Amino acid sequence: MRYLLVIPSIDIKNGKTVRVVQGIPELNCNEYGSDPVEMAKIWRTENAKLIHIVDFDGAADHSRNNLQIIREICESVIIPVQFAGGIRTPEDVEAIMDTGISRLVMSTMAIENPDFFISIFKKYGPLKIAIALDIVDEELVIKGRKIMTGINYLDFAKKMSGIGVERFIVTDVLRNGILGGPNLIYSTNVAEVTKGKVTLSGGIRNKDELMDVQKLMPFGVDSVIVGRALYENRFPCQKMWRVAESGIF
């Protein structure tokens, strides 16, 4: 039997772990632990199989201030690290790849500079490059979830699938960080139109909702990113983290 892969998220701003509500980092969240490297070690100890990192400084102002932290995380855990946030240029790609991450999740470059994105995708391939679909009312948002693009998420997903993208991270921004429940429709739609692998992100509140997402696995939704619910201990980690026998990454 295959199980849904649960991926803890570490959101970083000003070098600290922060809570994020609808794409807006809330600082003053010391109860979540301020050191991202230590947090990564904790999730590894809790038997996580993959960690998702978002650099909100990079996404907001295109800084590289957190690169050393990302490198330390990659060196401190023996599991894959997935990264998103602030990748705008080929130079950004090279810099973040040099930290040791296993997969880069991109959105803004793919929309604003498709030729650059295609060249990067051809260089690294579908196992290393994934597409983030951050959605507000079926419209994609970019640049730290601040800019509405006017692009329908399914139209763009089909376009990316056409060039070979196999992994999509789907976030209903309006549900992200508020424990509003997962948007199963967005992720299912992306899986069906692309025939690719989909990671649902945002809204998970409890174990029952993880089971709801697991029912989507036959359609291609094979994993889920969880942030706030994990940090607030809304379900025990050891009993829910599983990994499929193959093909999950």
Query: Residue 84 maps to which CATH number?
Result: 3.20.20.70
pTM, to two decimals = 0.89
Question: Which of 195, 202, 240 minimizes the C-alpha distance to 84?
Answer: 202
Please give the DSSP secondary-structure letter assigned to residue 4: P
Whether residue 84 is contained in a domain is answered as yes
Whether residue 236 is contained in a domain is answered as no
Name the catalytic one among 55, 57, 134, 172: 134
Residue 134 among the catalytic residues: yes
- What pLDDT score does 212 carry? 93
Whether residue 205 is contained in a domain is answered as yes
Structure tokens at 50: 């993959």
Whether residue 176 is contained in a domain is answered as yes
State which residues form the domain around 140. Answer: 5-231
If 0-12 CB within 10 Å is exposed, 13-18 middle and 19+ buried, where does residue 17 land? buried
Distances from the Cα of 59 to the Cα of 51, 100, 111, 230, 241, angstroms? 18, 19, 15, 23, 29
d(CA 16, CA 33): 8
Residue 222 among the catalytic residues: no
Name the catalytic one among 11, 55, 57, 172: 11
Whether residue 104 is contained in a domain is answered as yes
Q: Is 95 strand, coil or helix?
A: helix
Please give the DSSP secondary-structure letter assigned to residue 124: H
Enumerate residue ranges in the chain where pLDDT < 70.
Answer: 1, 19-33, 58-60, 144, 176-179, 236-249
Instruction: Provide the domain count of the chain.
Output: 1
- What pLDDT score does 38 carry? 93
* pLDDT 10s digits, 104-125: 999 999 999 999 999 999 999 9
Alpha helices per DSSP H over the chain: 36-45, 56-61, 67-76, 90-97, 108-112, 114-124, 153-162, 184-194, 207-214, 228-231
* pLDDT 10s digits, 62-91: 778 889 999 999 999 999 999 998 898 889
Whether residue 107 is contained in a domain is answered as yes
